[in-house]
Amino acid sequence: MADVFISYARSDRPRCTLIRDALAALRIDVWFDAGIAPGHVFDREIEHQIAESKVVLVLWSQTSAASDWVRAEARVGREAGKLAAAFLEPCELPLEFRSVQTELLAAEGLVEADPVWPGLVRRIGELVGRPGLAEFARLAADPPAPPEAWRRWIERHPADPLVDMAVERMVEGAVPGLRAELAAERARRAAAEAELADHVEASRAQSGELATAARDLARARRERDEAERARSDADGELAAMRESLAQRRGGLPLMSADVGSGIVLDQRLAIYVSVLMWAMSIWFLSSSIGRLSGSRGGLDDVFWLIIGVIALVIPSAIVTVVILIKRRALAAAAAAAKATSAADARVEGAGS
C-alpha cells in the first residue's frame, strides 16, 4: 500500500517525477499512474490505489485543473479527509477546491530547496503519521544545520524511518568530511571484496587443473604398476626357463646368477615392456614440453616435466640398459653352452 497517491496531468509528468523522487528520499512510498502494470484495468487500479493510500496529492496546473480525472481524484481525497495540494503553475482552481490550502512550487531548481516544500511535506507528514517530516525537510535544506539540531530532532522523533539519516547528518556536522571518508572506505571495501572474489574464482579454477593433473598422474602410476607386474611375471618365467634348461643340461646353468634382474630377454615381452615405457614417457612429457617451447607454459608444466623424468624416463632408461646387458649375457651364455656341447660331442667321438 502506497503512502501517497499523486494526481496530475500527463503533460506535467516530468515535474511529477521530481516530486515523487523527493518524497521517496524522505522514505515515503509514492504511487502514480506510471506504475500501472500491463494488463490492469486503468480505472480500477486507480480506484484501488486512491482507496488504499493515506494521502491524495493533487498537482494543480492549467491542464490538470481542466481534467475530469484529476478533479474526480481530488474530490475523493477531499471527501476522505486526506487531500494535499500544490500549484505547479498559477491557474484557476475548480470552485470546490479553492478552500484547500495550496501553494505554488517553484518551476526551477531542486524541489527540496523550494521554500514552499516544507509546508507541503508538513501536510503529508500529518496524514501519514510522521510529524517530524517538515522539520527534517527544513534541516536537510540547510546543510550547515548544527549537530545539536539533528540531535533534538532524533530525540523528538525516535521512531521515524529517517533517524539513521539524521544520525549521519549529525555525525557529518560534528566531524566534517567524515561522510566522504566513510564513502571512500566503503568503496575500498567493495574493491577488496571484488578482488577477493576474483582470487577465489582463480583458486577454484587452479584447483580444477590440479585435480585433473592428479588424475593423470594416478593413471600414469597405475600404468607403471601394471608394467612392473608384467616385468615381475617375466622375471618369474625367465627364472623357470633357466632352471629347466639347467636341469636338462645336467645342471649347467644357462647364465650366471649375476647377469641381471631376470627380465625375459629372448622373448617379445621384454621389448614390449621397454617400448611401452618409452611411449608413456613421450606421451606424458609432450604436452608440457610443447607449452614450454611455445612460451605458453608455467611452473606447473615444469613441475610435471620433472615428475615425468623421475617417474618414467629414468626407469625406462634403466630397463633398456638392463635389457641390453642381459641380452649380451644371454648371448655369451648361449655361446658357452654351444661350445660345451661341441666339446662333449668331440669327447664322445673320441671315446668311440
Tens digit of pLDDT for each residue in 114-142?
A: 889 989 999 999 999 999 998 998 888 76
DSSP type of residue 98: T
Q: What is the pLDDT of residue 252?
A: 41
With pLDDT > 90 as the criterion, what percentage of the chain qualifies? 31
DSSP type of residue 67: -
Q: Which residue has the cell 626407469?
A: 315
Task: With a cut of 70, say whether residue 105 has pLDDT above it.
Answer: yes
How confident is the model over 258-294, as pLDDT tens digits?
444 444 444 566 677 778 888 887 887 787 777 777 7
> Within 13 Å of residue 95, how many CA atoms lie on the same side as its CB?
0
Q: What is the pLDDT of residue 265?
A: 45
Task: With a cut of 90, say whether residue 75 has pLDDT above it.
Answer: yes
CA distance 145 to 132: 16
Residues 6+ apart with CB under 8 A from 12: 59, 61, 63, 64, 88
CA distance 140 to 153: 12
E-strand ranges in the chain read: 4-7, 30-31, 55-60, 83-87, 103-104
Q: Looking at 214-223, 263-272, 292-301, which range is the least confident one?
A: 263-272
DSSP type of residue 94: P
> Could you tell me which of 69, 68, 66 has the C-alpha nearest to residue 6?
69
Q: Looking at 98-107, 159-168, 172-181, 315-324, which range is the least confident one?
A: 172-181
Return the higher-pLDDT residue of 62 and 207.
62
Q: What is the pLDDT of residue 68?
A: 92
Q: What is the pLDDT of residue 275?
A: 82
Q: What is the mean pLDDT of residues 24-29?
A: 94
pLDDT class for 40, splitting at 50, 70, 90?
very low
CA distance 296 to 304: 15
CA distance 134 to 246: 116
CA distance 166 to 156: 12
Domain ranges (residues) in the chain: 4-142, 217-351
Look up the CATH superfamily of 4-142: Toll/interleukin-1 receptor homology (TIR) domain (3.40.50.10140)
Q: Is 288:306 a contact under the CB 8 Å cutoff?
A: no
Q: Which residue has the cell 544520525?
A: 167
